Amino acid sequence: MAKLLLFNKPFGVLSQFTAADGHPGLADYLDIPAVYPAGRLDRDSEGLLLLTDDGALQAQISNPRFKLEKTYLAQVEGEVSTLALKSLSQGITLKDGPTLPARAQRAPEPNIWPRVPPIRARKNIPTSWIELTIREGRNRQVRRMCAHVGFPVLRLVRIKIGEWSLGQLKPGEHQQMKITMPAQQPGSKQAPPTRRPRQKPSAKGKKPSP
C-alpha cells in the first residue's frame, strides 16, 4: 500500500521541506516521515500538492510523459474574453514551444479562503476567474499561458490532480490515505517494465542454469 498525502499548500510556502530565503517549507506544516512531493507548486501559487512514500506513484504523478491532468482556478486581471478562452483551449506557442490543447472556461468567483496577503487590485480594472485544465507541467505554465492571451494572473489555486481533489482542505491542512499500486490514470502510459540483466556465460562456456 502506498501512502498518499493531499496537502493544501498556502501562498508563499515552498514545495520542499526545507525553508529558504525567508520562505517556509513543508516541514513547517507536515511532520510525517518518508514522504516526498510528487511534482511541485510555485511559491506564489496555492492549493493541492501531493506527497507520497512510493517512488512509482511519485513518478506517475510528476512525470510529464503520463500527462496527468491538473486543474487550476486562476483569477486574472480584466474580463476574460471568449477569444482568449478559445486560444487557451486550442493550445498556444510559448517561448519553450507550443502547449497541448487545454480545457478553459469562465468560472464564478469561488467560495474559498482569502489570500494572505491579498492580491494587488486596481479600482478601475475588474478581475475574473478562469478554470483551466492542462496535461503538462512546465515552469509557471498557467501564468505564462494566461499572460500570453492578455490576462495576467493575480491569484492561482490548484484544485485537482488526476483523480485527487482539494476538497474542503484549508490552507496548511492535509489528508492522508493509502492506495494500492498501480493507480493507472485514464490516458496515461504504463511505465516500461524493468529488464533483468543478462547473465554472463560460466567460465567453462556453459550457459548458467535458469
Domains of the chain, residue spans = 1-68+163-185, 69-161
Alpha carbon distance 201, 83 (integer Å): 66
Shortest CA distance to 137 belongs to which of 54, 65, 53, 36?
Answer: 65
pLDDT digits (tens, 9 = 90+) for 50-71: 999 999 999 989 887 788 999 9
Tell which wins on pLDDT, 210 or 156: 156
Using CA atoms, how far apart are residues 180 and 148, in angstroms rounded to an integer? Answer: 40
Domain 69-161's class?
Answer: alpha beta
Residue 193 pLDDT > 70: no
Where residue 1 falls among pLDDT bands split at 50, 70, 90? confident
pLDDT > 90: percent of the chain: 73
Does the domain at residues 1-68+163-185 carry the CATH identifier 3.10.580.10? no
Has this prediction a pTM greater than 0.95? no
Q: What is the pLDDT of residue 184?
A: 47
Mean of pLDDT over the chain: 87
C-alpha cell at 33: 516521515
Indicate if 42 belongs to the active site.
yes
Q: Does pLDDT of 172 surpass 60?
A: yes
> How does residue 7 score in pLDDT terms, banded at 50, 70 and 90?
very high
Query: Which residue, among 102, 86, 179, 112, has the nearest Cα to 137 in the 3D structure?
Result: 102
Catalytic residue among 42, 44, 53, 54: 42
| Residue 12 in this model has a pLDDT that exceeds 90 | yes
Residue 46 has pLDDT above 60, yes or no: yes
pLDDT of residue 64: 76
- pLDDT value of residue 186: 39
Nearest-angstrom CA–CA distance, 5 and 3: 7
pLDDT at 62: 87
Cβ-based burial of 26 (10 A; exposed 0-12, middle 13-18, buried ≥19): buried
Q: Stretch 167-183: mean pLDDT, rounded?
A: 86
Render pLDDT for 109-144 as a digit per residue (tens, 0 to 9). Answer: 999 999 999 998 788 889 999 999 999 988 999 999
Average pLDDT in the 190-198 region? 37
> If 0-12 CB within 10 Å is exposed, 13-18 middle and 19+ buried, where does residue 49 land?
buried
Q: What is the pLDDT of residue 195?
A: 36
Same fold, 1-68+163-185 and 69-161: yes
Residue 191 pLDDT greater than 80, yes or no: no
In this prediction, residue 181 carries a pLDDT of: 65
Give the tens place of pLDDT for each residue, 141-154.
Answer: 999 999 999 999 99
